[in-house]
Amino acid sequence: MNPTPVESIKSNFDFSSFTDKELQEKIDDLSPNIPSSLDNTLTKLDGFLTIYKAIDKDMDAQQIQFSNILELLDEINNSETLKLFNYLFGYYENKIFLPNATISLNNLINVLNVIDKFEPFPRLPWPKVNGFLLFNEETEKRILKPGNHSFAEDEFYCRVKVFNSEEDIIIGNLQMPNYNNRKNDIFKLFVNFKIAKCIGKTPEIEYLNLKTQEILGKDKNWKIQDKNKNLEIELDEYVSKLFKKVYLDTEEDIKNQRLVPKNIDIESNKWDELLENANLVKDHLLVLQKRHKYILDHFESKDGVAKNLLKRNKLLIEVREFLNKNKTKKGLGSVSIDERFLPDRNTIEAIPGGKGLMKRISLLDGGVISFKRIYPIWIAQKLYKENTNIEVDKEFRKYDNRYDVTQLDPDNMTIKNNHTQGI
């Protein structure tokens, strides 16, 4: 069930107001078939990184390639397309909010570092109503049992769609007390009545003194008494009337928020095409992450002049490796080595290889003082990215468990019924 009422999500993109032309532009921005797209720019980046690795013995040549890569990264980082990609995967503010830090996703290297922690699939900021599958009675009886079930094509009747996406949002909000608890009461009463009618159950009516809570009378009936007007009220009709008003009021609220597309058919294949292209970009990013994992950090810290960045970024990585290699080394007295903290110069130089490391650090612009300022920030961000379970915007999950609960495998003509212990 949704934890919070559905509200408009328009942090960076207002899909509901897109024209057909605007949507096509977004599709093209992610498409592998468009030369200028993000997907094809990633192909170019892949080539640059491959060359960069191949010339690691030639510092001058690598420096030139490093600058080329930084230039290409800047082009990607400043693009609306990268923001669009992140949006489709649930990062509506283009950031990842952690307990003690924020990871900006307006940076492709950051995205590459965490892309394996992204949601499996992109989605749009409204529910996709796929409907409900119906089979013949014998098949339904069989697939009610937990487990995997095969079926034949002639056992399948149809797929039933009752509500469209906007109507589904209305129903979803009515299901939540924190949207409007009185509307929720009426919704639940209406649903209970429909179930009671179906199973032949008559509601129990209690007439009471609200102030004292004294029960003045009881009855099992589908009618109630209006003592002031001395007449009987058909209970089912009355509750249905109340529910219709509640529904229409909520419908007006939802329509005013413009949550679903107004200019493009919500069932248009173009929406699916947008998601498919986003998924292709994600797959491409996962390949880049795996292929270039050990050099991504070379491009992570970007403040400064390009010619100095390469040396500094390599040294950040080297220092971390040095600290982790020597954190259990004996003979350092009471000093405890932790990759999160840069020890004093004497401690580092007391460790084999430490003097050379400190010399290279001192030759950087800003020297040791500047490096000591940069390293703690850099390592903190690294550890956050590596160790934190990254959550998407809570709004991304608001339609979870509404549809697609039935696990259908159309290729093998099987259906899976998961079973969990009830309340």
CB-based contact 97:384 (threshold 8 Å): no
Give yes or no: residues 8 and 122 share one domain. Answer: yes
The number of residues in the chain equals 423
Q: What is the pLDDT of residue 340?
A: 86
Cα 316–322–323 angle (5° rounding)? Answer: 95
Residue 137 lies in a domain: yes
Angstrom distance (rounded) from CA 348 to CA 356: 10
60-72 pLDDT, tens digit per residue, is 898 999 999 999 9
Enumerate residue ranges in the chain where pLDDT < 70. Answer: 1-11, 301-307, 329-335, 399-406, 419-423
**Structure-block tokens of residue 357:** 């490391």
Angstrom distance (rounded) from CA 9 to CA 92: 8
Residue 409 lies in a domain: no
Give yes or no: residues 40 and 147 share one domain. Answer: no
Give yes or no: residues 73 and 146 share one domain. Answer: no
Residue 397 lies in a domain: no
Q: What is the pLDDT of residue 27?
A: 98
CB-based contact 312:69 (threshold 8 Å): no
Count how many domains the chain has. Answer: 3
* Phi, psi at 32, each rounded to 5°: -70, -10
Burial class for 138, CB neighbours closer than 10 Å (0-12, 13-18, 19+): exposed
Q: What is the pLDDT of residue 263?
A: 93
Q: What is the pLDDT of residue 400?
A: 62
Give yes or no: residues 180 and 295 share one domain. Answer: no
CB-based contact 9:395 (threshold 8 Å): yes
Q: Which domain holds residue 167?
A: 132-263
Give yes or no: residues 120 and 268 share one domain. Answer: yes
Give yes or no: residues 383 and 315 share one domain. Answer: yes
Q: What is the pLDDT of residue 405?
A: 58
Q: What is the pLDDT of residue 303?
A: 54
